[in-house]
Structure 1
Amino acid sequence: MKKSIMLWSAPLLFLAACGNNAENNSEENGGAAEANEPENTEEADDTSEEASDDTVEIEFWHGMGGGLGDTLEALVDDFNASQDDYYIQPEYQGSYEELLTQFRTVGGTETAPALVQMFEVGTKYMIESDYITPVQEWIDAEGYDVDQLEENILSYYTVDDQLYSMPFNSSTPALYFNVDKFEEAGLDPNNPPRTFSEIAEAAEALTDDDTYGFSMLGHGWFFEQLIATQGQEYVDMDNGRSGDATEVTFGGEEGLKVYEWLDSMNEAGTFEYFGRDWDDLRAAFQNGDVAMYMDSSAGTKQAVEDAPFDVDLSFVPHADDIDPNGVVVGGASVWMGSGISEEEQRGAWEFMKWFNEPDVQAEWHVNTGYFSTHPDAYDEEIVAEEHKQFPQLTVPIDQLQETVPSTATQGALITVFPESREQVVTSLEALYQGTSPEEALQQAVEGSNRAIEVSGRAAE
């Protein structure tokens, strides 16, 4: 197959890996609106009944448009109908980046919302903003059993043993593969490749005149996963969780293994780069142009339904000679604003508890593809029926629940994540054009460290 490198000059939009652009507007994002829902840039119509004079109205800003926005509106309607004390008013604010900008302008003022959804890479800003009330305060005051929720989702939003926000829409990457192509190439789809070398060997077997074996989107979220599963932190200071990060730590052997792995397949002609746009890579997979790639777990059902061939999923690839540590969640959480009345805070807290109930989470998982924050939701009949029809949905759940808790798989807290992700993607594009793995990785390290340094000086 003739090799062509597709480079994109447009600025990279960032996830929510998962994961708002990894999941926000392209599918979820959060990694945006998940891939299984159409994007909608218009605010959803308010079809809810008005709050009565006796109810406490609670403003809820969110970044979900399209079908996901409709699902969120229905979720809120169910809560409003379940009791008479509080009325949640959802308000769509655009993409996660736009939502963060809007919140920055009003945070701490009387016009700030009581509840705000924020993508995971905005976590450090939110914690340091003084515009929020940590949900840990309500957990402690009420004795709420947070241990009933999914540990490997809670961990991202937990700092110094304090849960700052309530996880809402969470997903991770997974390996998607074309079952038909596997069988044609003599590969066993029931035993998909897991290690870097196994992926490379499978990619060689899958590559022909019409199909490349493997591809990876131009998005930093996936690189973060590939080093986290090696147990490597992204930045120092315990991945930015014991203090402000001063430099990245992905420039060692763990990061180099990733760059060398991608370089070897690119040089062998078994890898093709389809750019930074999620839809372009998904279209390449659906068209049979590539047989294996990584995508957000939230797009599982849509990928299975859209493909003219059988699709299955496996865990994120890991380097040889290691025991994989697992994945880092992407997506978003819901934060409680500060400076609002105690009544509003109580209502916000009641909503947070309610949407984490197993029956509510079961509906959320089935209707959106996001993980359930409450593991008991997977025992609900509606989920069992969905998983029977789409067994592929269980693969990312198993991967999440098998993840080894550590600061590496918690995910990094860094204020310049978008800038660092841009540096990583730019360096990988240089790699695909012939830059050596060592030099390309060093470019990402130096560019990220400059961004961290500049940010640190500005904060002084």
Structure 2
Amino acid sequence: MKKMTKCVFTFAFMLTVATGCQTNDEEEATANEPATEQEENNDSNMETNEQDDVIEIEFWHAMGGGLGDTLEALISDYNASQSDYHITPEYQGSYEELLTQFRTVGGTDTAPGLIQMFEVGTKYMIESDYIIPVQEWINRDNYNITQLEENILSYYMVDDQLYSMPFNSSTPALFYNKEMFEEVGLDPENPPSTFSEVAEAAELLTNDDTYGFSMLGHGWFFEQLISTQGADYVDEENGREGDANEALFGGEEGLRAFEWLANMNDSEVFNYYGRDWDDLRAAFQTENVAMYMDSSAGTKEMVDNASFEVGVAYMPHADEVERHGVVIGGASVWMGSGISDEQQEAAWDFMKWFNEPEVQAEWHVNTGYFSTNPDAYEEAIVHEEHEKYPQLTVPIAQLQDTIPSSATQGALITVFPESREQVVTSLEALYQGTSPEEALKQAVEGTNRAIDVAKRASE
């Protein structure tokens, strides 16, 4: 982790006098004469003032590897595009590490002016008093947010106020091996869309070397199986009309999901590869599993790394209901509190720039994340990318087909990480033989305990 620095930097420069060959004695004598104290002060003040005019903003983020390289390249483009502001990116590790680090400095002089935060940290950020809602600058600037993707914006909207700017957004999708589909007589251009269709396809695809289906041990995917049925995860309109008091995912919607997974597990057409994304992706690439759910942001990498043709489809939904859609994952960018009005303006200027179609086109092509501005999909580089990787268009269509509601808007609770842990632990118990009813009950009770503990701690 890099050493923390202040959000605003002041640069002091020492004057350097360079002497060279002169064409005559008079010029040489003049060059070698010591400058007066007043002249030195005037020169120093002029150079320092030029630097002081550039407003520095530190941007804490969790983009490592190639994602970090893409982010830093775009920030360099922004810095070069104008001379008033300078954004300094600072990698802080994982989302969890970034949140922990921000909690220690939020509201202090060492806090950054821009902070990337994963979506389940939204409730904490709103209540922390460590941020400035971007709605304040939207209003001041008369910024038209309708130009941005509605089903991405909605997650970060609370009481009709936008608290942070969408940044890197993705949704889950169903990935499948098209060649295996053809081998067992399934139509690779007509992938399964319901729970029962996935189960039937998994049975056909399972053999001595391959399991038909798998799902990562991550609560995000279970949340999608709830939202696609149009059900809220917690009460109080998914925590958006007030602080949530209890989990609602223990109803018939959650039971359908648990029973679906349990039945496939009992039939041995499902295999659990654990909580590590790379383990499940490796199983798909080596054809040990024929279908699985993954983040849309991984589409391009999977297509490149697989030795077979990869298909991408919408998330499956329960047979008893119409598809409602998905909740976005990823992160947004927040404006830190405690910075001057000029620094706020600098942070806001970068936020606006990052959401321009040309910038978002570069972001989408190089990362696989959605464009926050749909106009980016009309850019030439995006058309070229989509021709090469038509799979990228499927999650975009799924996002835009999502029906806006509290269910697809996503839940807001401060204990989301704890709830996800409860869900995964319960799913693992399910795969070991615990009944769907009992496993689901454990997840609900664990989530409710976490909500109660958080409520008592805040009183």
Task: For 2:387 and 2:171, locate their aligned partners in 1 and report how far apart those are by CA, in whole Å.
Answer: 21
Whether the aligned pair in 2 keeps the contact of 1:58 and 1:113 (CA below 8 Å) is: yes
Count of aligned residue pairs for this structure pair: 414
State the TM-score, normalizing by the size of structure 2.
Answer: 0.89
Structure 2's unaligned 5+ residue stretches are 4-10, 12-49
Q: Deviations over 1:287-325 (max 9, x none)?
A: 000000000000000100100111010000100031111
Which residue is equivalent to 1:281? 280
Which string of whole-angstrom CA distances, capped at 9 and with x for unpartnered residues, describes residues 323-359 of structure 1? 1110000001000011101110001000000000000
1:156-305 → structure 2 map (5 Å cutoff) = 156-305=155-304
1:384-395 → structure 2 map (5 Å cutoff): 384-395=383-394
| 2:108 matched residue in structure 1 | 109
- The corresponding residue for 1:369 is 368
Letter in 2 for 1:371: F
Q: 1:134 and 1:42 mapped to 2: Cα distance?
A: 27
**Pair 1:94 & 2:93 matched:** yes
**AA aligned opposite 1:221:** W
Equivalent position of 1:21 in the other structure: none
TM-score normalised according to structure 1 size? 0.89
Q: CA deviation at 1:53?
A: 3.6
Aligned residue identity for 2:255: L
Matched-pair contact (CA < 8 Å) for 2:219–2:420: yes
Letter in 2 for 1:392: Q
Partner SS state of residue 72, structure 2: helix
CA RMSD of aligned residues (A): 1.2
SS in 1 for 2:318: coil
Structure-2 residue corresponding to 1:308: 307
Q: Distance in 1 between matches of 2:227 and 2:343?
A: 38
Match of 2:457 in 1: 458
Greater Cα radius of gyration, structure 1 or 2: 2
One-letter amino acid of the structure 1 residue matched with residue 281 of structure 2: R
Query: Helix, strand or coil: the match of 1:167?
Result: strand
Structure 1 residue 95 displacement after superposition: 1.0
Letter of the 1:145 partner, please give it: N
3-state SS, counterpart of residue 261 of structure 1: helix
Which consecutive aligned stretches of 4+ in structure 1 deviate over 2 angstroms post-superposition? 50-54
Mapped partners of 1:114, 1:262: distance in 2: 44
Whether the 8 Å CA contact 1:114–1:344 is kept in 2: the answer is yes
Letter in 2 for 1:70: D
1:330 partner amino acid: G
Shift of 1:42: 7.8
Residue by residue, what CA displacement relative to the aligned partner does 1:169-193 show, whole Å, maximum 9, x if unpaired? Answer: 0000000000010000100011000
* Matching of residues 57-76 of structure 1 within 5 Å: 57-76=56-75
Deviation at 1:96, TM superposition (A): 1.0
User: Aligned partners of 1:432, 1:321: CA distance in 2, in Å?
Assistant: 24
Q: Distance in 2 between matches of 1:92 and 1:112?
A: 14
Aligned to 2:41: none
Paired residue secondary structure (2:204):
helix
Match of 1:402 in 2: 401
In the aligned structure 2, how far is the partner of 1:433 from the partner of 1:95? 30
Displacement of 1:52 in angstroms is 3.6
> Are the equivalent residues in 1 in contact too, given 2:2–2:90 (CA < 8 A)?
no
The residue that corresponds to 2:118 in the other structure is 119
| Aligned positions of 1:27-66 closer than 5 A | 52-66=51-65
More helix, by proportion? 2
Distance, in Å, in 2 between the alignment partners of 1:159 and 1:356 is 20
Following the alignment from structure 2 to structure 1, what is the Cα–Cα distance between the partners of residues 179 and 52? Answer: 60
Deviation digits for residues 14-62 of structure 1 (CA, Å, limit 9, x no counterpart): xxxxxxxxxxxxxxxxxxxxxxxxxxx789xxxxxx9944211111111
